[in-house]
Amino acid sequence: MRNTIYSILLMFFVLSSVSAQFKTIEKKEGNSDGVEIKPLFVPTEQSIDPAKQIPLTVDPMDLQDFVHATTNIYATHFDKEGRAVFFKGHLKEQIGKTIEEQIDIYLQALNRYFNLDQLQDQYQFIRSEEDKLGMIHIDIQQTFQGIPVDGGYLKLHVKDGLIHRANGRFLDTPHIDQVIPSLSASEIKAVVIGDFQKKGIYKRVEGADLKFMPHETYHAELLIHRKDGQDYLVYKVDAFANMIQRFVYLVDAHTGIIIDQYKNYCSLHGEDHDHADHGAMPPPDGPATANALDLMNINRTINTYESNGTFYLIDAARKRIPTADNPSDNLFDDTNSNMPNEPVGVIWTIDAFNTNPQNNDFNYDHVTSSNNTWNDKIAVSAHYNGGVAYEYFKNTHQRNSINGESGNIISLINISDPETGGGFDNAFWNGAAMFYGNGNTAFDPLAEALDVAGHEMSHGVVQATANLTYQGESGALNESFADIFGVMMDSEDWYLGEDVAKTSVFPTGRLRDMSDPHNGGNQLGDPGWQPKNTSEQYTGSQDNGGVHINSGIVNHAYYLFATHADVGIAKAEQIYYRALTTYLSASSKFIDLRASVEQSAEDLYGMAEKNAASMAFEAVGIGGGGNTTDYETDVEMNPGADFLLHSDAPFSNLFIRDNDLNFVANPLSQIDVRSKPSVTDNGSNIFFVGTDNNIYNIAIDWEAGQFGINTFDDQGIWRNVAISKDGSRIA
């Protein structure tokens, strides 16, 4: 069967209308070096033999086997180190197998790119999820002797019952002797807390403060970590030094030496307090609305909450997307809420009274009103922006709150500088809540800017989905997605922070500019300057390896993509959200984003949008120049019906079949074939060279169901022939 497979000539084509894209060629008789060049054949009604009706017959021969046998799995994108990161195709062996069986088959096929020893013992299934397109996405973690390998993560994608795509990376088989740690988890915790104390930033988070924190404030996981070519058994610790400052530590599990560390929280511009017990409250009066001016002096409608005659800046009136598990459409969970101090499913604004969570005098309480009148513009802005962020993700991406699980959206305003106690030029997302400074030398009160709020809260979405590591290119992707969603919420321009940035520090009046990341500057260090091409990429260690700096490259790619005539903002934000939630993982880099956006564009829309994505990333140097990808540009598919043109094994006949492999023309030609046939876009003309070295033309009238065969050139000197898509040129 294999010899038959490789000897059959295959040509897939699509019937569609032909639009001339070339100038009409001059049809001249001529002679050059003794070769006669004949005019291009233009079929006429007289050239079609009316007796040759195309028979619509069905042959019992099943071509399914050889169609699937021609499949393969191949890499389409490679990172800067030459490691394959995106794969397409499938194998015949997968057909008829369960997904679990296919995983083994697929990963064994991919191992030629990974070169792992005993692959079947070096990975484990993590989770699977079906998306709105009906595709199933499977997460696979690389392991070594049962220990996860840091950065070794793959996503497999199933369509129509077959794994047909994969992305991510497995690292080479680790070289490590002892995978049983010498130190306990508690000993490692002491190492981390000791380092916090050396830095002078440790303040234990407990009691009522925990409501503003993620569920875990300390998490340690045993991993195999590779640094500078050396493999280590480490504890990867994700821990808070205080309510705001969150770090990742990689600590050698045998020696307790800190191998690496980096901050794991976003700042926009690069003794525990005993809270009063409010006591049991009488039954709440419920949601209310009010109108109030924000920091931009715009009258905003905000949702408040009345309890026992006092109004709170608690929005318990939002609607969420009902699911089978939770059919209610109300975000607010009144059953599990203890109002107003322990609400569930709300947007909640809290006053920190010009204190900072890093200090022992940190203090906070509700923002309240006795008559539902609100004169605090900072509070109104923060509360309103939290609602906009919620509605953006719900309405645009069908996401239930920031964490995807109807979680609270909390904003703490009036955060002071941790050292001076005065104005604070920053805003933070700590994994569970927003913290707004009121500005100082560089910014006005940061609660004013919707895109700043959107940026910080979007870090929560990134955290709950791909969880991009906040370091290097992965961290720059993390920052870029926060910028993208923030700018999409405030979609009047392509700037970030333009409503709060002071021109005395930022001459352009904006913190960042996605349309031109140089933002009026000339080089790194100029206020607001970012690179907009990988040729300018920062490669140092500052800023967690350039997470805020290099995000400009990715931001500009998004701008170019979203402003492309075939795309637009509405498509672009859907494509990027799918790339984030479906294809990217913690260790993804710039090239992974390109592959993921291209594939998401194809998944949701088509080849025009995919090609626009390729152009955008090429323009900023991601995947360009053959350095980072072995990329094949797909030609956009023509509309129309698909057909298969093929020969038999001895090349003595040509046939046409439909998509179900039923015969449409049986046979189409009985002339022995020498070259692969060439077909025009609309399927009306087929050219090929026969074994007598003459050129033959088959002209098809699809409407009439007729075809005719003609000798186009009988000089007997040809080996191959090709016709242009529009039928105007021949080679």
Which amino acid does the sequence have at 677?
Answer: P
Strands (E) located in 317-439: 347-355, 365-366, 368-369, 409-415, 427-429, 433-437
Average pLDDT over residues 608-621: 97
Q: What is the three-class DSSP state of 94? A: helix
pLDDT at 454 exceeding the cut of 70: yes
User: Do 270 and 289 form a contact (C-beta atoms < 8 A)?
Assistant: no
Contact in structure between 87 and 642 (CB atoms under 8 Å): no
548 belongs to the catalytic site: yes
How far is it, in rounded angstroms, from Cα 167 to Cα 156?
7
pLDDT for position 46: 37
Q: Write down the residue that tokens 């792992």 correspond to.
A: 116
Residue type, 701: D
Q: Nearest 5°: phi and psi at 106?
A: -65, -45
Task: For residues 457 and 267, give the distance between their C-alpha atoms in angstroms, rounded to a whole number.
Answer: 12
Q: How far apart are CA 123 and CA 146, in angstroms?
A: 8
Tokens of 644: 């298969």
Residue 71: per-residue pLDDT: 58
pLDDT digits (tens, 9 = 90+) for 315-366: 999 987 787 777 778 888 888 888 999 999 999 999 999 999 999 999 999 9
Residue 335's H or E segment, with its range, is: none
Residue 727 is predicted with a pLDDT of 84
Q: Which tops the pLDDT comparison, 218 or 37?
A: 218
- Two tokens at 602? 């194809």
Q: What is the mean pLDDT of the segment spanning 90-112?
A: 91
208 neighbors 275 (Cβ within 8 angstroms): yes
Nearest-angstrom CA–CA distance, 491 and 252: 46
pLDDT at 638: 64
pTM value is: 0.75
Asked whether 246 and 237 are in contact (CB, 8 A), the reply is no
Residue 424 has a pLDDT of 95
DSSP code per residue over 643-678 = EEEEE-TTS--EEEE-TT--EEEEEEE-SPB-S--E
Stretch 527-549: mean pLDDT: 96
63/259 Cα distance (integer angstroms): 57
What is the average pLDDT across 590-616?
97
Q: Which of the residues 225, 397, 455, 456 is marked catalytic?
A: 456
Q: State the angle between helix axes of 472-489 and 569-578 in degrees (0 to 180), rounded to the nearest 10.
A: 140
Specify the pLDDT at position 190. Answer: 96
- Of 143-152, 408-417, 622-631, least confident by mean pLDDT is 622-631
Query: How many CA atoms lie less than 13 Å away from 505 in the CB half-sphere?
Result: 17
Top pLDDT among 599 and 633 is at: 599
Q: Which of 361, 354, 330 is nearest to 343 (CA)?
A: 330
Query: In this structure, what token pair is assigned to residue 275?
Result: 């809270």
In what side-by-side order are the strands of the sheet with 10-14?
Answer: 10-14, 642-647, 654-657, 663-669
Q: HEC states along 404-471?
A: CCCCCEEEEEEECCCCCCCCCCCEEECCCEEEEECCCCCECCHHHCHHHHHHHHHHHHHHHCCCCCCC
Least confident among 18-22, 220-224, 308-312, 395-399: 18-22
Largest Cα–Cα separation, the chain: 104
- What pLDDT shows up at residue 116? 82
Condensed to tens digits (0 to 9), the pLDDT of residues 27-80 reads 333 333 444 444 444 433 334 343 444 443 333 334 344 344 435 888 999 999
Distances (CA, A) of 478 to 265, 549, 573, 669: 11, 12, 15, 58
Band the pLDDT of 635: cuts 50, 70, 90: very low
Quote the CA–CA distance of 519 and 538 in Å, as a whole number: 16
pLDDT, residue 681, reads 85
pLDDT of residue 296: 96
Among candidates 242, 239, 249, 238, which has minimal Cα distance to 206? Answer: 242
Tokens of 232: 């280590």
Q: How far is CA 418 from the centre of its chain?
A: 36
Q: What length is written for the chain?
A: 731
Is the preceding omega at residue 667 within 30 degrees of 0, hence cis? Answer: yes
Q: In 3D, which of 451, 294, 311 has the Cα closest to residue 384? A: 294
Phi, psi (degrees; rounded to nearest 5) at 347: -110, 120
Q: Coil, helix or strand for 717?
A: coil
Question: Three-class SS of residue 70?
Answer: coil
Question: What average pLDDT does this structure show over 630-652?
Answer: 69
Q: How many CB atoms lie within 10 A of CB 182?
A: 12
CA distance 441 to 240: 28
Q: Quick: pLDDT tens for 571-590.
A: 999 999 999 999 999 999 99
- The pLDDT of residue 528 is 95
pLDDT of 542 reads 94
**pLDDT, tens digit, 9 for 90 and up, residues 245-289:** 999 999 999 999 999 999 998 877 663 333 333 344 344 479 999
Distance CA 168, CA 151 (A): 9
Check 548, 556, 564, 646 and give the catalytic one: 548
Rounded CA separation 522/514 (Å)? 16
Instruction: Tell me: pLDDT of 208 over 70.
Output: yes
As a whole number of angstroms, the distance between CA 106 and CA 83 comes to: 17
Mean pLDDT of the residues in the chain: 86
Higher pLDDT, 636 or 101: 101
pLDDT of residue 320: 79
For 660, residues 6+ apart whose C-beta sits below 8 A from its C-beta are none
**In the chain, helix, strand, coil percent, each to 5?**
25, 25, 50
**Given this model, what pLDDT does residue 21 score?**
29
The answer to whether residues 680 and 18 touch, using CB atoms and an 8 Å cutoff, is: yes
Instruction: Assess whether the previous peptide bond of 340 is cis (omega < 30° from 0).
Output: yes
**Other beta carbons within 10 Å of 717:** 13
Q: What pLDDT shows up at residue 703?
A: 81
456, 461, 458: which is closest to 446 by C-alpha?
A: 456
Contact between residue 696 and residue 709 where contact means Cβ atoms under 8 Å apart: yes
